Amino acid sequence: MNRIKAWADEHLKGDPVIWVVVFALSLVSILVVYSATGTLAFKRMSHPETYLFKHTVLLGVGLVAMWFAHKVDYRYYSKLSRLALWVSVPLLLYTFTNGVSLNDASRWIMVPVINTSFQPSDLASLALITSLASMLSKRQQNIADFKESLIPMLIWCGVICGLIALTNLSSAILLFLTCMLIMFIGRVPVKYLAMLVFVGALAGVTALKFGVRGDTAKNRIENFIQGKELPFQAKHARIAVATGGIIGKGPGQSQQRNILPHPYSDFVYAIIIEEYGLIGGVVVLVLYLVLLSRGMKAVYKSERAFGGLLSAGLSFALVLQAMVNMGVVVGLGPITGLPLPMVSMGGTSLLFTGLSIGIILSVSRGEVDQSWSSSGKEIKNIAKAA
């Protein structure tokens, strides 16, 4: 036990609570995805262990990416984010014009040679949040200067959110709300935030008019608001929740996994509640809330504005996505098609979720190092005085 603790102290830096949350969500992911892919394996006449192995490997890739990201000083991400933004623009445009359709949505591009799908919106979201935190931290002294400070941020928010909205309106809305939060924490005047709302509304209207699935998004929103007949997915998701009870039916005992479309991704939370009950659903919810709480701590603990804004933005984006996914399952919102971070089966999503959490850990690791450095200086001063 002491060896394990020593190894963890040496190799797993940063907030230990976040590490516990990540490993807990990873365990939940493996258990539920293995159960939820049984029907998929049957339809494709393959072994369920094949999907379990594939998902475990992809989850492992996300965890490795997280480990590498947390080892890098978070200040380096400020430089990389601007390059990533410029790369994201042509990728998003290419996705809109030549995107591959998967799961009834054109949000992916195929990477040649390795023949793997890639979702550029995940890269663009991470790049925008990081770049926005960087721009705000550098402009704190003249944050009220509209021309020098606000226009570049408004332009990037409008361009990236608008391009994402053309193929993935729900992700664009969540990214926009995250940008609003970062700018609010970054002391941007309210009148300028109102201008950002205008830019976001313009991008949303454009997406509904010209987007790949604008009509689908509009119909889902209208049906939810008007309370019309429940869509097929929403109906069976609620059945899963209702039949799960307090303690659930037990691992691997879900019935709705045989009926729900994509029970291993979009509606994985329904399978969690059906098999593990209200208790399992609440545990997963609490894990995300703990992640949000620990990520937000950096806002007042970090000695640098960039670290606090970056950690707050990334943790809010991840947990907001989780809340929307869970809200859809229990009937609190229209169907969106967003995965549950660190739990749903996926490739690009797991990779960039791992990178995001790794950056949050890097920020918290910097705080620990700074606190130890400060403690060391205090000890030296006391020794000199003695």
C-alpha–C-alpha distance, residues 70 and 370, integer Å: 15
- Classify each residue of 304-328 as buried b or exposed e, where b means 16 or more C-beta atoms within 10 Å of its C-beta: bbbbbbbbbbbbbbbbbbbbbbbeb
- Along the 386 residues of the chain, how does pLDDT read in single tens digits? 556 555 555 667 778 899 999 999 999 999 999 888 877 776 666 777 788 888 899 999 999 999 999 988 888 998 889 899 999 999 888 888 877 666 555 676 766 655 567 788 899 999 999 999 998 888 877 776 767 778 888 888 888 988 888 888 888 889 999 999 998 888 888 878 887 888 778 777 777 676 656 566 667 776 777 666 777 888 888 899 999 889 989 888 888 888 888 888 889 999 999 999 999 999 999 999 999 999 988 777 777 788 889 999 999 999 999 999 999 888 888 888 788 999 998 878 899 999 999 999 999 886 555 443 443 343 234 234 33
pLDDT attached to residue 361 = 92
C-alpha–C-alpha distance, residues 40 and 50, integer Å: 11
pLDDT attached to residue 20 = 93
pLDDT attached to residue 270 = 92
pLDDT attached to residue 383 = 31
C-alpha–C-alpha distance, residues 278 and 282, integer Å: 6
Angle between the N-to-C axes of helices 120-138 and 348-385, in degrees from 0 to 180, rounded to the nearest 10: 30
Place of tokens 């009148």: 191
Report how many helices (DSSP H) and strands (DSSP E) the chain contains, helices first.
Answer: 15, 3
pLDDT attached to residue 162 = 86
Strand segments, DSSP code E, in the chain are: 100-102, 105-111, 116-118
CB 32 within 8 Å of CB 325: no
CB 137: neighbour CB atoms within 10 A?
Answer: 18
pLDDT attached to residue 63 = 93
How many Å is the maximal CA-CA distance in the chain? 78
- Which among 235, 217, 236, 270 is positioned nearest to 107, based on CA atoms? 217
pLDDT attached to residue 125 = 93
Does the reported pTM lie above 0.85?
yes
C-alpha–C-alpha distance, residues 276 and 208, integer Å: 38
Question: Quick one: DSSP state of residue 109?
Answer: E
CA 236 to chain centre: 25
Burial of 269 by CB count in 10 Å (0-12 exposed, 13-18 middle, 19+ buried)?
buried
Full DSSP string of 302-357: -SSHHHHHHHHHHHHHHHHHHHHHHHHHTTSS-------TTTS--SHHHHHHHHHH
